[in-house]
């Protein structure tokens, strides 16, 4: 049995559930055939996260899949033995979820899609593939708090590579309706 913890509504999370089911199916796990998924939704009431995480632990799920930082923090607080697999926009090391990206340790592992620590690596790989290109752009939402470490790391990576031109803007063009 898989537990799925998300700080959202079930109705608004169809795309996430569809992606989860497709990914599990590719690995040979099909809900209703050889897998049960117990979904725990806060229904946009974040204060329910701790209770829902504890509920999944009480069901003795084999793994908890958490989506977003607060759900992952709640899952970590609820168990130190059940594996927790997360997908977050934040740096899991900075938030104390894992010891390091290379060796997470403990019972948590997952992906961070805006991890600032990977900014230099990403830009370095692109520069390695396209060494003659010196102008790069990074698209990130300037007022989204989780973007700040990502933007800072990309700027540092551009400076470290030396031959790249970097410019940043904190304003996005506004669409006229």
- Mean pLDDT across the chain: 86
Residue 143 has pLDDT above 60, yes or no: yes
Tally of domains in the chain: 2
DSSP code per residue over the chain: -EEEEESS-SGGGHHHHHHHHHHHHHTT--BTTTB-EEEEE-TT-GGGHHHHHHHHHHTT-SEEEEESHHHHHHHHHH-SSS-EEEEESS-TTTTTS-S-SS---TTEEEEETT-GGGHHHHHHHHHHHSTT--B------TT-TTHHHHHHHHHHHHHHHSS-B----S-PPPPP-
Range of the domain at 105: 2-113
Considering the domain architecture, whether residues 133 and 48 belong to the same structural domain is answered as no
Position 171 in a domain? no
Position 177 in a domain? no
Considering the domain architecture, whether residues 56 and 70 belong to the same structural domain is answered as yes
Q: How confident is the model at residue 116 (pLDDT cuts 50, 70, 90)?
A: low
Contact between 154 and 119 (Cβ < 8 Å)? yes
The per-residue pLDDT for 158 is 80
Considering the domain architecture, whether residues 20 and 100 belong to the same structural domain is answered as yes
Q: Report, as an integer, the average pLDDT of 128-154.
A: 77
Considering the domain architecture, whether residues 11 and 94 belong to the same structural domain is answered as yes
Q: Report, as an integer, the average pLDDT of 152-164.
A: 76
Q: Report, as an integer, the average pLDDT of 105-113.
A: 92
**Segment 24-42, tens digit of pLDDT:** 999 999 999 999 999 999 9
Residue 176 has pLDDT above 50, yes or no: no
User: How far apart, in whole angstroms, are the C-alpha atoms of residue 56 and residue 60?
Assistant: 7
Considering the domain architecture, whether residues 96 and 134 belong to the same structural domain is answered as no
CATH code of the domain containing 71: 3.40.50.2300
User: How far apart, in whole angstroms, are the C-alpha atoms of residue 165 and residue 115?
Assistant: 22
Residue 87 has pLDDT above 90, yes or no: yes
pTM score: 0.72
The per-residue pLDDT for 27 is 95
User: How far apart, in whole angstroms, are the C-alpha atoms of residue 130 and residue 126?
Assistant: 6
Bridge-based pairing of strands 2-6 and 37-41 is: parallel
Scan for tokens 């010196």, then name that residue: 134
Residue 100 has pLDDT above 80, yes or no: yes
Position 53 in a domain? yes
Token pair for 82: 């059940």
**Segment 2-32, tens digit of pLDDT:** 999 999 999 999 999 999 999 999 999 999 9
Position 167 in a domain? no
Position 78 in a domain? yes
Query: Bigger pLDDT: 136 or 44?
Result: 44
Q: Phi/psi at 87 (nearest 5 deg)?
A: -135, 110
């Amino acid at each position: 049995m898989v537990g799925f913890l998300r700080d959202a509504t079930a109705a608004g999370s169809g795309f996430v559930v569809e992606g989860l089911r497709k990914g599990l199916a590719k690995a040979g796990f099909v809900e209703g055939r050889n897998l049960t998924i117990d979904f725990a939704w806060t229904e946009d009431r974040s204060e329910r996260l701790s209770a829902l995480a504890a509920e999944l632990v009480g069901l003795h799920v084999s793994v908890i899949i958490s989506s977003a930082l607060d759900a992952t923090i709640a899952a970590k607080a609820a168990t130190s033995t059940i594996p927790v697999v997360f997908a977050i926009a934040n740096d899991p090391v900075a938030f104390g979820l894992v010891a390091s990206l290379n060796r997470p340790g403990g019972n948590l592992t997952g992906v961070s899609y805006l991890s600032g620590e990977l900014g230099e690596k990403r830009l370095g790989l692109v520069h390695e593939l396209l060494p003659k290109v010196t102008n790069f752009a990074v698209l990130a939402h300037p007022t989204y708090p989780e973007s700040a470490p990502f933007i800072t790391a990309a700027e540092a990576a551009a400076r470290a590579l030396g031959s790249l031109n970097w410019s940043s803007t904190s304003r996005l063009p506004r669409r006229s309706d």
